Amino acid sequence: MELSVYLNGKFVPQSEAKVSVFDHGLLYGDGVFEGIRAYGGRIFKLERHIDRLYTSAKAIDLTIPHTKEAFAGIIKETCRKNGIRDGYIRPIVTRGVGDLGIDPRKCKDGATVVVIAQRGISLYGDAYERGLKVVTASVRRIPPDSLSPSIKSLNYLNNILGRIEANRVGADEALLLDAQGFVAEATADNFFIIKDNVMMTPYSSTSLPGITRETALELAPKVGVTAVERPFTLYEVWAADEAFITGTAAEIGPVVEVDGRTIGDGRPGKITKKLIKAFRDLVTATGTPIG
């Protein structure tokens, strides 16, 4: 059965959900998007995701042709059209149709708005039970003085190059360093380590300010750890007691190996497992009802 996709004011079958080859989102990655999860008929942190979408759009001077409230309504209606209770939602806003030039002023008809909602997603499959293997990529994360990693744009080539390196060596994820050699983030996830009961993650200046990331920081006291944001190096990753990734699609994924070095005892860490449970309890008990 085909999905029903929202496209510029209409719901169409996924086979008919098409954009112009002159759309700046296709030609130049000129647009923004979000990844959102629904659990048990509720959308987790919907308002927070919409805020981040609009902040990303503002940062690239892109006007979204809906109020935040209206956009939330479109997302909920897309979920209802597809019978979503547990699923993944992808709102996308591009600059719209222009020409082969890069000038965004050529996109005279305004933004292209797409919302896709599909049932279920398991990004790493059974790897959550055994733990994830991560390698450090040779490609560096784009620095904020070139393109802010805080903008969740359609241009993910930097991340994809890192993922290609992970794929070539059979790893589950790749870790990207910043221009100074500090840990930035994984290709599609934020990154955490735990050492001596302190949970650490890099500042979001060199990584996406992830919503699952901020949720993990909020849950830290409930699992008995101190949470801090600070720079750290690969040495501290290799020497960590535990490590994990966070992301909307990934949720919380335990990391048991980085660059061939065993993290902790080589199994998902005790604190990480507590955090996974606390996260699961939260997402299944809160959120905006789909209706």
Q: Is position 18 annotated as part of the catalytic site?
A: no
List Cα–Cα distances, 116 to 159, 171, 233, 267, in angstroms. 22, 29, 38, 35
Grouping H, G, I as helix, E, B as strand and the rest as coil, residue 260 is coil
Burial of residue 101 (CB within 10 Å: 0-12, 13-18, 19+) is: exposed
Cα 255 to Cα 226: distance, rounded to the nearest angstrom: 19
Cα 138 to Cα 174: distance, rounded to the nearest angstrom: 9
State both tokens at 59.
């940062």
Residue among 10, 152, 195, 222 flagged as catalytic: 152
Cα 185 to Cα 274: distance, rounded to the nearest angstrom: 22
**DSSP 8-state secondary structure symbol assigned to residue 68:** H
**DSSP 8-state secondary structure symbol assigned to residue 3:** P
Cα 82 to Cα 6: distance, rounded to the nearest angstrom: 11
Nearest Cα neighbor of 231 from 270, 193, 257, 264 is 193
Cβ atoms of 34 and 66 closer than 8 Å: no
Report the 10 Å Cβ neighbour count for 28. Answer: 16
Nearest Cα neighbor of 32 from 140, 156, 144, 134 is 156
Please identify every residue annotated as catalytic: 152
